[in-house]
Chain A
């Protein structure tokens, strides 16, 4: 059975949703406190949404210095599947595990709404079971979700097929409508929308399932 670690920082608040979602897909999931120094025995690691360390200074700026982040970096280097959702995406960019940065939303508006996403690449651990061009309705819930990077980084993202998801209608001013990116290898992925909140049509959408199924099924050393 796939074992997934869900990292919990002081101030995380989507860890139960993430744990519940991957458990519902058959994974064996458990919480990993931010002071942990290793991730042995896990097949994948999720950094969930929330406000790690109160988002003081900048979202993710303090969380990246938590002891567990060295273990996450080591896990990622070894090819392990790493997923950052919302605040987790911000932490991964601050830690330098993903390119770019997340800025305050255009218009300084906190956004909590469903968005339609387009799958742009299937070469990541989050999208390998989806198809290119597939549209997914998944909610966003953030204030600092405007993806920003310089021209050189953007060109590199395009060249290496690292733009994983785009918004169909840009809600927050993200460069090139980017909603999620991966590293070059495709084993580290971050996105602002919350797939763990789109697991049931009864609650609005089940479109997050294909993403988390991809992730849960992704073996270590994908691609």
Chain B
């Protein structure tokens, strides 16, 4: 089977996020108030051939650890992208 998977990569807690900080500073000028703790990240969508969804998620997690994220500064999580 073929499973649609999304991997989210975000900076680890405590790692400075200049992109998120810049976005947050711009918000009040656009009329968005009361928004804090903005963190920027990346999202990767892919289809994975696997026996079942949990195997597909395990493959995605391994890929995220090895390539998609730098574990020194980032966390990665894999989730299903199936609508449901």
Q: Does B30 sit within 8 A of A, measured CB to CB?
A: no
Residues of A within 8 A of B14 (CB): 150
User: Once the chains bind, are A148 and B15 in contact (CB under 8 Å)?
Assistant: yes
Q: Of the candidates B15, B18, B22, B70, which one forms a contact with A58 in the assembled complex, judged by CB atoms under 8 Å apart? A: B70
B19 within 8 A of A: yes
- A173-B18 CB under 8 A given contacts A101-B73, A148-B73: yes
Chain A CB count within 10 A is highest, among B14, B15, B22, B72, for: B72
Encode contact with A along B4-30: 1 for CB under 8 Å, 0 otherwise.
000000000011101100100000000
Partner of A173, one of B16, B22, B72: B16
The answer to whether A93 and B72 touch (CB under 8 A), given A57-B67, A61-B67, A108-B22, is yes
What separation, in Å, do the CA atoms of A107 and B17 have in the docked complex?
10
Min C-beta distance of A43 to chain B, whole Å = 30
Interface positions of A from 16 to 50, Cβ below 8 Å from B: none
A61 touching B16, Cβ below 8 Å: no
Interface string of B60-84 (1 = CB under 8 A from A): 0000000110101100000000000
Contacting pair A104 B18 (CB below 8 A): yes
Q: Which of A94, A100, A103, A150 contacts B16 (CB 8 A)?
A: A103
Within 8 Å CB of A93, what residues of B? 72
Hey, which chain A residues are within 8 Å of B15, CB to CB? 103, 148
Binding site for B on A (CB under 8 A): 57-58, 61, 65, 93-94, 100-101, 103-108, 146, 148-150, 173
Nearest 5 Cβ contacts at the A-B interface:
A101-B72, A101-B73, A108-B18, A104-B18, A101-B70
Beyond A61-B70, A146-B18, 9 extra complex contacts between A and B, CB < 8 Å = A57-B68, A103-B18, A105-B18, A106-B16, A108-B18, A148-B72, A148-B73, A150-B72, A173-B18
